[in-house]
Amino acid sequence: MPELPEVETVRRGLLPVMEGARILQAETRREGLRWPFPDRMAERLTGARVDRLGRRSKYLLLDLDTDETLIIHLGMSGRILISGHKLGKMHHDHPAPEKHDHVVFDLENGARVTFNDPRRFGAMDLCATSALEDHKLIQVLGPEPLGNRFDAEYLIEAFEGKNTPIKTALLDQGIIAGLGNIYVCEVLFRAGIHPTRKAGRISEDRVASLVPIIRDVLSEAIESGGSSLKDYRQADGDLGYFQHSFRVYGRKGERCVNSRCEGEIRRIVQSGRSTFYCAQCQR
């Protein structure tokens, strides 16, 4: 599933095409994805201008001049692709519709933005912009890891007394919004913290050290266009390439990248998800 860096990369790719543009025609080619689309979604989007294209955690947020916000989640295999718009020196004609093109926006600038989702685990919803923070998907989210609310003091307090493994705590969207399995594995390796250690038993200094590491890992991934595993593509169709910088994720049995370590990367399963780590470097 795309994590924060992948969603932020898609947002940045859509910015020059969608922000400030009017949706001349919105089309839905099925009744819903993970759940049904909101009532008259295509009708409510047609004619609306995208005043702001933002992101909260793993959700894209399109603030419209109709005082509504379109919430988009990519799910497991969702892709948003652009055609018919000049990106740099390239011009992309509109391709023939594909089987899994479920939502299509034709914009006043000639661009077409298509939501393609083979597995249909993606989602879209509309709500009043003024009520966005109270939406069921948004109100449960913790602070953004790249935002000002996320700092050492906050994380120390959030972990205080927690008996859950640090890996599980970092994946809790109510504590930190947008962190997913891939980047948590990479963060814990850089921090030298074993993924099964109880969050509430880690020293304050080590918890505090996680904050800049989390920001570094996410920033590096965004600059690399995210990580392309299986279905993920950027908005221009290109692959992300941060997966080439993985230090532990997906590297079971390989030697640790730390020059002074002769250990190898191990894999365990925590809460149904694969965890990759070095037992010698992470304590």
Give me the active site residues, please.
2-3, 58, 273
Which letter does DSSP use for residue 238 in this model? P
Helix (H) or strand (E) holding 2: none
Opening angle at CA 147, ends 146 and 150, nearest 5: 90
The structure tokens listed for 283 are 């304590």
Closest CA to 184 of 169, 164, 205: 169
Which three-class secondary structure state does DSSP give residue 67? coil
What does the radius of gyration of the chain's CA atoms come to, in whole angstroms?
20
Residue with tokens 């640090």: 166
DSSP string, 102-168: EEEEEETTS-EEEEE-SS---EEEEEEGGGGGGSTTTTT----TTSTT--HHHHHHHHTT--SBHHH
The structure tokens listed for 68 are 């509504």
The structure tokens listed for 78 are 């969702």
Measure the CA–CA gap between 188 and 208, rounded to whole angstroms.
13
